[in-house]
Structure 1
Amino acid sequence: MSGGLVVVGVDGSASSLAAVEVAAREARLRGAGLRVVHAFFWPALHVPVGPSPFGPAEGGLQNMAERLLSEAVQRAKAAEPELDVTDVLVTGEPLTVLEAQSRAAELVVVGTRGMGGFVGLLVGSTAVHLAAHGQCPVLVVRKEPNPDGPIVLGVDGSPAGQRAIEFAFTEAELRGAPLLALHVWSTWTAALPPPPTPAAPYANEPEALREEEEQLLSQALAGHQEKHPDVPVERKVVRGGVRESLIEASRDARMLVVGARGRGGFTGLLLGSVSQAMLHHAYCPVAVVRAPHS
């Protein structure tokens, strides 16, 4: 055991039980313990949390919460029998509880939608909130990944993305998986060189822009490949739409890793539009990694 901790939030939904199995695997790969957390929200109305005197002894809201927590623990142990699994039933609102749990964890895992999700939503508020406010990387379990695919890393070259790059390299190394480092650019996002003359403000060679973006990707990955020499890395620079390119790359991926905010982020926003789009539309689990103190 490394002494680390992976936390998974459960609410009894099929989505959260799928997240339990993923979290158990993540904990085993890290040599960490798994903490299964259920936030028990006491009703504001005068509804008894214990069994009704007119109903069965196993009834009541608290007994129901304890049963779903027990089911989640059993699911985790069935997936990883040797894993050290603990469970916590916490009184409080789920978003607040899981954010607090993230302070002691190296990873928090949640499903896309819980029992309180609204029909038609692709991803629940808990996943979006944690991705924006969690104090550690947050893994949102979406569709079944390709078990033989790469870890796909979205690289934008921003300083805030360095933590996401290190997380992606670590994930690839833990799994013995290849890493696809994907940088997407357009003439709107490229760092344009100064124009040669005021009379020709757009006279930039197209290939010069591509070379700059390839250099940006190389600089962003510098040092990480040396730290993880056993990880095979494919670098890919694509001109096009960032969201569309990352979503397409996620089709055959084991995991998609993105930063919470990139170069195009607006000051004050904790979760950028690209990372939100991945939470809603990616074809594999999505890890959102915030920069320290962001």
Structure 2
Amino acid sequence: MLPGCGLTKEPKAKGDFFEDSRVRRPRKGNCILKMFLTRSEYDRGVNTFSPEGRLFQVEYAIEAIKLGSTAIGICTQEGVVMAVEKRITSPLMEPTKVEKIVEVDRHIGCATSGLMADSRTLLDRARVECQNHWFVYNERMTVESCAQAVSSLAIQFGDSDDTGSAMSRPFGVAILFAGIENGEPQLWHMDPSGTYIRYDAKAIGSGSEGAQQNLQEYYLQTMTIKEAINLALSTLKQVMEEKLNSTNVEVMTMTAGELFRMFSKEEVEEYINNMS
């Protein structure tokens, strides 16, 4: 007699379930296979939620950013500082052509991490939106509105337009927006899910976890632009695999007076030498 089931012997298995009608337990191996196939279906769909409420393709895009170069943005009362790692994978590469920080408008600059081809598409949209806003309203677009316009494109994966074309996957890139709005410095972050949030200091890319912890420990709202540059460079120095030098890093400041300003190689080298 088997305990709890009223049977004198174990029923024989038949198909997916046991033969006796009083015991309807699925076979273990078949159950695992069905669970795997079910997850695989949600895994392929770019706009289909899993039963747990997750979009796996968006999560994969966020993970892709963690393979990119590290970028740091710091907002102070004087302005915004952005410092980005440049990965020079070959001595035959021209370092000046590896652009990680770009000017979207006079008052908005962006730093990216992730797939560079995807970043060009989103940054082109940001430039077009800023110029259209200036042409129509005769005023500069706000930093938040620029981030919102880019996020509207980022969340269109899986949608088709009038021509029938559709984006097959989310954009694998994260963007830091640095800008000046009515004399106030602002720093915004956008990820592949289309979420954009304002930050005082933010790190993205492969070294983002360690860099974010360092920023949380040493960031002060009262720090100056020079102190923010030193903090950004020292943080990059800790998380970068290569030795920090003026060739593999870009530095930009956004202030109410000068607006977008890229630092020259000599200026970056001077800051690095003063750190050591």
Give the TM-score of the pair, scaled to structure 1.
0.23
Higher-RCO chain (CA-CA 8 Å, sequence separation at least 6) = 2
Higher gyration radius (CA) = 2
Q: TM-score, normalised by structure 2?
A: 0.24
